[in-house]
Amino acid sequence: MQSLEKIKQVYFIGIGGIGMSALARYFLSENYRVGGYDKVPSVITDALSFEGAELSFDAEVLEIPKDFLDKSTTLVVYTPAIPSTNELLAYFFTKGFQLIKRAEALGMITRKLKSLCVAGTHGKSTTSSMLAHILNQSSHKCNAFLGAIASDFNSNLLLNPSAEYTVVEADEFDRSFLQLTPFCSIITSADPDHLDIYGSAEKFKEGFKQYAMKIDPAGFAVVKEGLDLKTLSKQITYAIDSETADCSILSLGSEEGISYCDCKIMGALWPKVYLGLPGIHNAENALACIALLNALGVPENEIRSGLKSFSGLKRRFETIISNEKITFIDDYAHHPTEIDALISSLRLLYPGKKITGVFQPHLFSRTQDFSNQFSQSLSALDSLILLPIYPARELPILGVSSELLLKGVTIKDKQLLSKEGLLHHLKDFNDAVLVTIGAGDIDRLVQPIKEILTLNLDL
């Protein structure tokens, strides 16, 4: 990586991605001129335009602002989600621009910072945002590069230049987390995923082993009990209802609608820790944050206060409508294990209620690799509506489709609909829980669904 000394402008290919947009915001804050391309407009690109980024939605060189064509002063950052056939990517490669992946840029920015990283197949966005919120509410403050929009500061970037710590979401996709230099890290899980990148479950686990060994020996590794990961740093284990983990949740409860848990933290009892979010998985994420912050010396009262006031993330168990007749929740779950946790939490929160799930599979390769597990997880719903697969960066795979999942689902109330068909179908929806699930573009249906369900309530 060359020096940034001569760089005056940064151009992002795939700027609307959640990780890319955080980097774009960082460079804007550092007074670089920022431009970029994405396939379609979104809430994120609208916000970036408002903040000063120069955007286009046509992958044509003619759309690039003139100053960004000066390769001596322009850095180009791209996401691996952009196909190699993209005209802009090919142009910058051919012309010899200084061009790096998103993970390299994040690694470069955070290399000299005291990074508190959060890795794991599941839970890393919620856990990293929770960690950032607690620190930001404490006397310590922090910087943060997140993989989702945190409701508490309505951004995926948090900047406090004088803060000691920087919270970083460590993404395993494309082995991106190996570009990071963690001072401390939470590792929530290592269930196989992204097998199109890693090739096998064994190689996926090897990636996590390499990441764990990168944690600074002077720091801490907070690891979910049962993960076989060696570290050079001190390792602290955590789990729900465990007699052997260093940190454990002993019991869960609620009081006037607010969830709480009793914890054992390094042998000490922490009774009634109030949580801003419901659900077993969120309690476990909170436990990981407590374990790390306690090890770093953050006072217990500040940890408790931050946890209680945490509002969560956009698209992570996000409640869109909640009343006596209809509850509508939107969630980013896109792996069978995540769907299991989501449905389990819904059952606990809404006992006796019919739960209808709308699932958009994400990637042909992931659908192929985990088709049986997806079908089993989705069978825990009362009613299922499947949308066509969101391909993202991939071309179709012969024989892999949403019909493949539908055949394996064991509940009778199941169907495959288009987006338009879904909206028409929901005109009769009432007296139940609806949850939209997926990591593709299903989030763009949330507002139309909200409008339809609100109309249903008025009838």
Over the stretch 344-397, which tens digit does the pLDDT of each residue have?
889 988 888 999 999 999 989 989 989 999 999 999 999 999 999 998 777 899
Whole-angstrom distance, CA of residue 98 vs CA of residue 93: 8
Identity of residue 422? L
CA distances from 291 to 89, 132, 180, 436 (A): 42, 14, 21, 32
- For the domain 111-309, what is the CATH superfamily, name and number? Mur-like, catalytic domain (3.40.1190.10)
**Residue 174's pLDDT band (boundaries 50, 70, 90)?**
confident
349 or 237: which carries more pLDDT confidence? Answer: 237
**Residue 1's pLDDT band (boundaries 50, 70, 90)?**
very low
Three-state secondary-structure class, residue 414: strand
Over the stretch 58-91, which tens digit does the pLDDT of each residue have?
999 999 999 999 999 999 999 887 887 889 999 9
User: Does the domain formed by 9-100 have CATH 3.40.50.720?
Assistant: yes
Would you say the CATH fold of 111-309 matches that of 9-100? no
| Cα three-residue angle 194-196-201, rounded to 5 degrees | 60
Closest CA to 35 of 57, 64, 11, 65: 11
**Residue 3's pLDDT band (boundaries 50, 70, 90)?**
low
- Residue 417 corresponds to which tokens in the numbers above? 């609909």
- Residue 433 corresponds to which tokens in the numbers above? 């829980």
- Residue 43 corresponds to which tokens in the numbers above? 């809430």
Closest CA to 162 of 139, 133, 146: 139
Residue 105 · residue 135 · CB < 8 Å:
no
Say what the pLDDT of residue 306 is: 97
- Give residue for tokens 């848990």: 261
Neighbours of 67 (CB within 10 A): 14
Phi, psi of 60 (to 5 degrees): -125, 140
Instruction: Round the average pLDDT of the chain to a whole number and report it.
Output: 92
3 or 394: which carries more pLDDT confidence? Answer: 394
| pLDDT higher than threshold 70 for residue 283 | yes
Say what the pLDDT of residue 459 is: 53
Whole-angstrom distance, CA of residue 434 vs CA of residue 90: 43
Tell me, letter by letter, the H, E, C secondary structure of 185-234. Answer: EEECCCCCCCHHHHCCHHHHHHHHHHHHCCCCCCCEEEEECCCCCCCCCE
Mode of pairing for the β-strands spanning 258-265 and 247-255: antiparallel
* Domain 318-458 class, CATH top level: alpha beta
The gap from C-alpha 380 to its chain's centroid, in whole angstroms, comes to 23
Whole-angstrom distance, CA of residue 39 vs CA of residue 42: 10
Over the stretch 120-149, which tens digit does the pLDDT of each residue have?
988 898 999 999 999 999 999 999 999 888
CA distances from 63 to 66, 69, 183 (A): 9, 11, 41
Three-state secondary-structure class, residue 114: strand
Residues facing residue 117 across a β-bridge = 168, 185
Over the stretch 250-265, which tens digit does the pLDDT of each residue have?
999 888 778 899 999 9
Over the stretch 89-114, which tens digit does the pLDDT of each residue have?
999 999 999 999 999 999 998 888 89
Spell out the domain ranges in the chain.
Answer: 9-100, 111-309, 318-458
Say what the pLDDT of residue 410 is: 96
**Residue 31's pLDDT band (boundaries 50, 70, 90)?**
very high
Whole-angstrom distance, CA of residue 309 vs CA of residue 140: 17
Residue 22 · residue 144 · CB < 8 Å:
no
CA distances from 320 to 294, 354, 380, 434, 438 (A): 34, 17, 22, 10, 16
